[in-house]
């Protein structure tokens, strides 16, 4: 079991949200001993059916537990959100702590539970970070197949491809259709593929609606589903009194590179350094790493991007309470020079007081005017990892 960066409380009830396959169950089984914990999995059809028929049975089970049991883990709580009413009562009346996992915050919220009105903390788990896998990390493999934990169990690329293709199909069936999050599964399936092909680009709702065969409102609802099921993130445009008119449209990123390539049907295509495709995937990888670690260590960080009417762009902007605005340029080049980052140099000069850095494949840190160029590992550690 690899050590995860996330630290979960032992004396407080909490939700742990994350997409299927991120390792939520494994993490809780590792963090909480079987001697002091009752594990209930709603992925088990019999267990789910039992509590669907009588949610109140959870109270009867909890009240009969021996004093040695201090925690109850409920896996995939969104399958029976009515259980949260019982959990709420037990938190109020007993000393038990609850750890509840979920791969869909949507059903929990829409089930009327309102996340127990703050009585349980909320955490998010993501696919592995490169910091968590140590010597097992391989950048090229990560860019091609992503960082889902199960990827690291396979020995061949063929196995990884088959797993990711099956994951995409299983997610459609289990997470979208079975949870009844949309009634138009065929259109949604097409949307997932088109969204993957547009990953990391500014969302054009009208173009997507035309390609999928639905209206703009439905496309916006589909993006909402992806956010609520934790398989995608919206990166909002930066709001600033900037002298050039800025883009007001968001970007979208899937939560994992391998899943993105599976949905876009690109898993068998090679990724060659120096190509635009490689640069786009490398940028996606760095953004995901920054977002994962910030979620674990710096929850108040706020992410956005900047794009002017002249198509000048800053890949990532991080608002950090009490610190200067952090502007990040992402370059897959192994030898960054002033020409590579000319636009970034110009834009960041116009943002007063910002800290400008470039994360790249360069092996050496260097200073180019006011911009600090860092090997991406060093940059991510310096700005997003807390020991």
Quickly list DSSP for 209-247. HHHHTS-HHHHHHHHHHHHHTTSEEEEPBPP---SSPBP
* Residues 260 and 336 occupy one common structural domain: no
Same domain, 106 and 91: yes
Q: Which of 92, 124, 156 is the last residue of a domain?
A: 124
Query: Same domain, yes or no, for 300 and 183?
Result: no
37-41/71-75 β-pairing = parallel
Question: Where residue 209 sits, what CATH number does that domain have?
Answer: 1.10.10
Report the predicted TM-score, pTM, of the whole model to 2 decimal places: 0.92
Q: Which residues pair with 367 in a beta bridge?
A: 372
Q: Are residues 259 and 147 in the same domain?
A: yes
Tell whether 75 and 158 lie within a shared domain.
no
Domain boundary among 89, 124, 159: 124
119 and 138 inside one domain = no
pLDDT at residue 104 in the model: 75
Within a domain: residue 59? yes
Q: Check whether 243 has a pLDDT greater than 60.
A: no
Backbone angles phi, psi at 354, to 5 degrees: -75, 160
| Least confident stretch, 1-5, 296-300, 349-353 | 1-5
Same domain? For 218 and 304 the reply is: no
Residues 306 and 321 in one domain: yes
- Same domain for 321 and 255: no
Q: Where are the beta strands (DSSP E) in the chain?
A: 14-17, 37-41, 71-75, 97-102, 121-124, 232-235, 251-254, 302-307, 313-319, 326-331, 355-360, 366-368, 371-375
The token pair at 17 is 């949200």
Largest pairwise CA distance in the chain = 70
Whether residue 98 is found in the same domain as residue 213: no
**How many other C-beta atoms are found inside a 10 Å radius of the C-beta of residue 81?**
18
The pLDDT score that the predictor gives to residue 298 is 94
Q: Would you put residue 241 in left (φ > 0), alpha (ψ -120 to 50) or beta?
A: beta
Question: At which residue do the structure tokens 């950048």 appear?
Answer: 139
End-of-domain residue from the set 103, 124, 145: 124
pLDDT digits (tens, 9 = 90+) for 157-197: 999 999 999 998 887 666 666 655 666 778 888 999 999 99
Mark whether 154 and 255 lie in a shared domain: yes
CATH number at residue 72: 3.40.50.300
The CATH number of the domain where 328 resides is what? 3.40.1350
Residue 278 lies in a domain: no
Question: How many other CB atoms are there within 10 angstroms of residue 52's CB atom?
Answer: 13
Give the pair of three-digit tokens for residue 380: 């991510």
With 60 as the cut, is the pLDDT of residue 33 above it?
yes
Q: Is there a single domain that holds both residue 213 and residue 178?
A: yes
Please provide the DSSP assignment of 54-84 as one string: -TTHHHHHHHTS-TT--EEEEETGGG-TTHH
Residue-wise pLDDT for 210-220, tens only, equals 999 999 999 99
Residue ranges making up the domain that contains 40: 14-124
Split into its structural domains, the chain has a count of 3
pLDDT tens per residue across span 107-123 = 676 655 556 777 789 99
Go through the chain and tell me how many residues it has. Answer: 387
d(CA 170, CA 43): 14
């Amino acid at each position: 079991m690899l050590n995860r960066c996330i630290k979960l409380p032992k004396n407080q009830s909490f939700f742990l949200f994350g997409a299927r396959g991120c390792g939520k169950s494994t993490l809780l089984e590792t963090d909480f001993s079987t001697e002091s914990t009752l594990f209930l999995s709603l992925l088990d059809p019999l267990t789910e059916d039992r509590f669907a028929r009588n949610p109140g049975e959870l109270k009867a089970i909890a009240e009969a537990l021996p004093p040695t049991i201090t925690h109850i883990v409920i896996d995939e709580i969104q399958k029976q959100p009515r259980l949260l009413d019982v959990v709420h009562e037990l938190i109020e009346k007993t000393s038990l702590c609850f750890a509840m996992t979920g791969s869909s915050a949507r059903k929990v919220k829409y089930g009327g539970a309102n996340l127990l009105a703050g009585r349980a903390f909320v955490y998010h788990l993501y696919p592995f970070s490169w910091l968590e896998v140590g010597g097992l990390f391989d950048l090229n493999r990560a860019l091609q197949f992503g960082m889902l934990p199960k990827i690291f169990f396979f020995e061949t690329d063929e196995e990884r491809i088959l797993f990711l293709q099956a994951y995409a199909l299983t997610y459609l069936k289990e997470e979208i259709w079975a949870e009844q999050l949309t009634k138009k599964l065929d259109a949604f399936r097409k949307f997932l593929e088109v969204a993957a092909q547009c990953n990391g680009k500014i969302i054009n709702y009208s173009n997507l609606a035309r390609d999928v065969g639905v209206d703009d409102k439905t496309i916006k609802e589909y993006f909402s589903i992806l956010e609520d099921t934790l398989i995608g993130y919206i990166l909002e445009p930066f709001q600033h009194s900037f002298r050039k008119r800025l883009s007001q449209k968001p970007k979208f990123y899937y939560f994992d590179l391998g899943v993105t390539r599976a949905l876009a049907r690109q898993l068998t295509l090679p990724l060659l350094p120096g190509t635009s495709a490689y640069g786009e995937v490398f940028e996606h990888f760095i953004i995901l790493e920054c977002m994962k670690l910030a979620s674990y260590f710096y929850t108040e960080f706020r992410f956005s991007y900047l794009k002017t009417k002249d198509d000048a762009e800053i890949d990532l902007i991080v608002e950090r309470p009490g610190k200067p605005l952090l502007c990040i340029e992402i370059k897959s080049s192994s030898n960054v020079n002033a020409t590579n980052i000319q636009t970034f140099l110009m834009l960041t000069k116009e943002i007063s007081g910002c800290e400008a850095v470039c994360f790249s494949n360069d092996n050496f840190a260097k200073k180019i005017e006011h911009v600090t160029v860092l090997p991406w590992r060093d940059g991510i550690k310096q700005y997003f990892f807390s020991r």
